[in-house]
Amino acid sequence: MKPTILSIGNATKDSFLDIQDQKIYKDELNDFHYDLTFDDSTLNYKKKAGIFGGTILSEKIFTAAHFKAFSNANPKGVSQFEYSEINDSLVERFIVSYKGKSFILTSNPRETKWNSPPYAPDLIYIADTNFSESYLMDFRKYLSENRQIELVYNIADLDQDLSRELFVRANLVFVDFRKQNLSDLIDYSNYQTVVESLLKVGVRSVVIFDGAKIVVGNKEKIASAEADFGLNSFYQSNIFQAAFVAENFSNASNLEESLRLALTIANKSDFNDVLKPFYAQQILNRKNYELPVEIISDTPDIEGRLHKVASSLVARPKGIFAADESGGNIHKKFEGIGIEDNFENRRAYREMFFKTQDIENYLSGIILFEETVEQNTSEGVNFVEYLKNRDLLVGVKLDGGLRPLAGFEDETISVGLDSLDQKLEKYSKMNIDFAKWRVAFEINKEKGTPSDAAIEANLRILAQYAKACQKYGIVPIVEPEVVYSGNHTIKQCREITEKILKSLFKELEIFKVDLAGTILKTGMVLAGSENEIQSSSREVARETVEVLKRSVPKELAGVVFLSGGQAETQATDNLQEITNLGPFNWGTTYSYARALQLPALQAWAGKDENIHQAQLLFLERVAANSHALYKN
């Protein structure tokens, strides 16, 4: 189904003037000047034409391609709209051409006001700019209220700060290779690096103008062709932009064909006579018509890697070992058995688990704390390298923990976004495969928690983190934990969990997170640990599965369950009952910390002579949970 498209910007009345050589002269510095005395009755032109441009032109092109299209000049999308009726609001422009170059002389931009359209479009095409501050303020508000809307725009046309701001909503952008706007963000070394840079920030398709060469790229490939804009480069470039948008959204699976069709429309159009796609296709079908397209290269298959890693993480019968305790959590564990919390003891503790024999038969990956990434085995081998040599995927916990949420007593917000990009750049170079970020919600009916504000703030952070991870080719695990402690009922847990998960996937959709390269880590639906009526394993499984089926899109790579303070055998029994209700649309497995570690920790007690026994207990718990991934 084709999207509805709204064109915004100035509606223009354009006069194209192709001036004669005798009106050109050079000054003493050898610079060219054009004699443009418009009241001179003797002034002659090679060619003169007038058209309606800006949003009027783009709307006409979208309509010709059979899109539901409208614009701020024609807000209801009325067919056969008489644009002469809005003559007072048109911006008049003279586009002066000389030897293939175009220069724009414009009247003062009109003070346009943002008027919300009668219904929300799927796509907004920014056809012309010169927005006032008040217009931008209202436009931003509209976007925040309609977060499903995607954008198309030319980076060179917008204020550079505005371009940055809109990237998160951009589906398709146009770039001038020679102007090199936003060079701190976009790598202009070559066409491929430009495409890669923009794909990393969430843009899906890129068009690069480099003189007569036009390059198009997406996650699958990069292609180029030569334009033949002999009529007027400014006019035909505008036609090409709108035509490529139309063809890209009509035929997104075939990049080269979209390029050829849009170029044919632009090359063969005349003033006030834009070639329709049907006739452009007939021209392309002629045997004697040539418009060669060169395939430059395939872009790096970041998507393929994300999908492969994500599916491997949840492949039965393996689970994920969460060895990512923060400093505070591991301190409590050590304190409970009388072990000093220092760097060497933390390193030795983690090494004990990592060196357990045969864990690769039961584990797909291990989540590390950031400190652990830098630590080595007793033989001096970095833990990341050691685990990868055992065919284990390596992840890292990236959130900075929880802090009080300002203005909301007894609620928290996850922190760490300010340093996330820097960390991801570092860890991608270390070949880290995946990451995890946790937010937490406590159920308290009397206090009204979790509040909508806390849910929205934390889930927005999860979505931003997930998008950033995928930019660097790292699979994100998103963990919106509903805390087990409390006296809430299983019904309350079900309602809150479902609300959170549905909201989470809306946020992930808004941020264009690739669900096939994403893992959800969630708690099971069960009564709080302090509730008098505890949930049976079958009840937990039934409620958990129903919530997941109603909340989790089938495109998601997988769901992994956290133990969240459950007793070791309780977590295993609940997992078994969930498995018995499968299969599901997504892979399912476990990602436990305490439920795998506690027996081993107690047996170890910080003594080397106890390591072997502790490892056997750890392997026993890992194997038991992997066995629970099969129906009994």
Which residue type, as a one-letter code, is found at position 538? R
Tokens in use for 89? 């609001």
Residues whose CB is less than 8 angstroms from the CB of residue 163 and which lie 6 or more positions away in sequence, other chains included? 153, 155, 181, 182
Q: How far apart are CA 365 and CA 359, in angstroms?
A: 10
Provide the Cα torsion 169, 174, 175, 181; round to 10°.
-40
Considering only the C-alpha atoms of the chain, give the largest distance between any 2 of them, rounded to a whole number of Å: 104
**The one catalytic residue among 59, 196, 325, 479:** 479
Distances in Å between the Cα of 235 and the Cα atoms of 156, 300, 333, 569 are 16, 34, 70, 71
Strand partners, 14: 51, 93
Q: How far apart are CA 183 and CA 120, in angstroms?
A: 33
Residues 390, 360: contact at Cβ < 8 Å? yes
Residues 103, 95: contact at Cβ < 8 Å? yes
442 is catalytic: no
Residues 314, 557: contact at Cβ < 8 Å? yes
**The one catalytic residue among 59, 521, 568, 577:** 521
Q: How is 274-297 classified by DSSP, letter by letter?
A: PPPHHHHHHHHHSTT-----EEEE
Residues whose CB is less than 8 angstroms from the CB of residue 91 and which lie 6 or more positions away in sequence, other chains included? 10, 11, 12, 13, 54, 106, 107, 109, 110, 130
The torsion angles phi and psi of 172, rounded to 5 degrees, stand at -140, 135
Coil, helix or strand at residue 595: helix
521 is catalytic: yes
Coil, helix or strand at residue 501: helix
CA atoms within 13 A on the CB side of 120: 12
Nearest to 7 by CA among 90, 50, 81, 63: 63
Q: How is 310-340 classified by DSSP, letter by letter?
A: HHHHT-TT-EEEEE---HHHHHHHHHHTT--
Distances in Å between the Cα of 279 and the Cα atoms of 104, 159, 236, 260 are 30, 37, 17, 13
Distances in Å between the Cα of 530 and the Cα atoms of 443, 485, 527 are 12, 7, 8
Residues 281, 286, 292, 293: is their CA dihedral positive or negative?
A: positive
Q: How far apart are CA 330 and CA 620, in angstroms?
A: 22
Compute and round to an integer the Cα radius of gyration of the chain. Answer: 30
Q: Which residues are the active-site residues?
A: 479, 521
